[in-house]
Amino acid sequence: MDLNDAPEEIAFRDTVRAWLREHLPHELADRGLGYDHYSREDLMRWHRILAAKGWIAPAWPEEWGGTGWNPVQRYIFEEECGYAGAPPLIPFGLAMCGPVLVRFGTPAQKQRFLPRIYNGDDFWCQGYSEPGSGSDLASLSTRAVRDGDHYVVTGQKTWTTLAHFADWIFCLVRTGGAGEKKQEGISFLLIDMRSPGITVRPLELMDGGREVNEVFLDEVRVPLEQRVHDEGAGWTVAKFLLGHERMNTARIGTSRRELERLKAQAAREIKDGRPLIEDPRFRDKLTRLEVELTALAITNLRFLDQLRGGRAPGPEISMLKIRGTEIQQRLTELALMAAGPLAQSVAAVGEAPRDFDLFTAGLAPRYCNFRKTSIYAGSNEIQRNIIARMALGL
């Protein structure tokens, strides 16, 4: 296994980096670098810029707008976007529902939904977690009862990211009783958020943001043709989708960018008459974190090498989610130490000059926000259980 970029991959990285330098709007990059909240228009503006270039859905089949890039090129693209401070590409349509429709959707479903996801005409969210049913997702209780050519859906979803922006939600619902396994009797539905009976209520997070929501479904009528795959086969779809979700949680490019900014801040911050980066304890923590990030990048390259050879990663893909999110959290902890009292500053990033110290703007809220990374997409405790049972056979 060769972990070094081939000459053509180096050239591809240079191409992506140069294009981002020219086309990523400064105000969007600054909003990310300053840990500010994005509006729906911010997110969709960047989506449409990439769609116009033809780079919005690299992993999709070429017939639906995919780039034809190999797994390494897709990784390089994601890494460079993160490193440049580009707004996140909202994964619910592009990286979750889209691949699900490509794999399990009917021709009519593909024609109806995939072009609109690609062009940014529809904003999607994910209806998985429920009160009392998060990490143990198979215990969900939202029910869909068949009524002629519709399902009638009643229940509640929670921690629904960006549901207040969304036009559509894909949901796991219970359409039948659980059999020997509680994963049985679950179906996967696509639901229009404008349907009568849907109520969205924001939840305020520790950082003051309201990116997550409760979604209440009160006898919402959903046409049968908006069920993906067979009735009762939703768990098969869910497992496929969660593999895509966990592959995207490592955020190595973003972590590398934050590590460089952290080093620069530690070199500026004076403690006891010398730069913080010269403090042995801080330097030890910083060095250990850099080594772990390098190890994570190499692990990610191993999975990419498997994909390059045509073999999909197995349950061990959970390692990326565990280590990636833990590194993100530790970066925010060290950043607080490096910024000192300045970490409490919250600036209007969009109104700040270009030379404003974006490292300290909103750093404390970012620390609070990143407490969630080890919980979403399946808590890290659950991921360790998956590795133990399915990869190690324990």
Catalytic residues, which ones?
Answer: 245
Q: Quote the CA–CA distance of 375 and 106 in Å, as a whole number.
A: 33
If 0-12 CB within 10 Å is exposed, 13-18 middle and 19+ buried, where does residue 17 land? middle
Q: Quote the CA–CA distance of 311 and 32 in Å, as a whole number.
A: 34
Contacts of 206 (CB under 8 A, 6+ apart): 365, 368, 369, 371
User: Left (φ > 0), alpha (ψ -120 to 50) or beta: where does 270 sit?
Assistant: beta
If 0-12 CB within 10 Å is exposed, 13-18 middle and 19+ buried, where does residue 211 land? buried
Q: Quote the radius of gyration of the chain (alpha carbons, Å).
A: 22
CB 155 within 8 A of CB 173: yes
Alpha-carbon distance values, 1 to 81, 306, 340, 365 (Å): 26, 10, 43, 41
Alpha-carbon distance values, 83 to 16, 29, 86, 253, 344 (Å): 11, 10, 8, 5, 24
Q: Quote the CA–CA distance of 203 and 210 in Å, as a whole number.
A: 6
Q: Which of 195, 203, 189 is nearest to 161 (CA)?
A: 203
State both tokens at 110. Answer: 């593909």
State both tokens at 297. Answer: 């990048």
Phi, psi (5° rounding) for residue 123? -105, 125
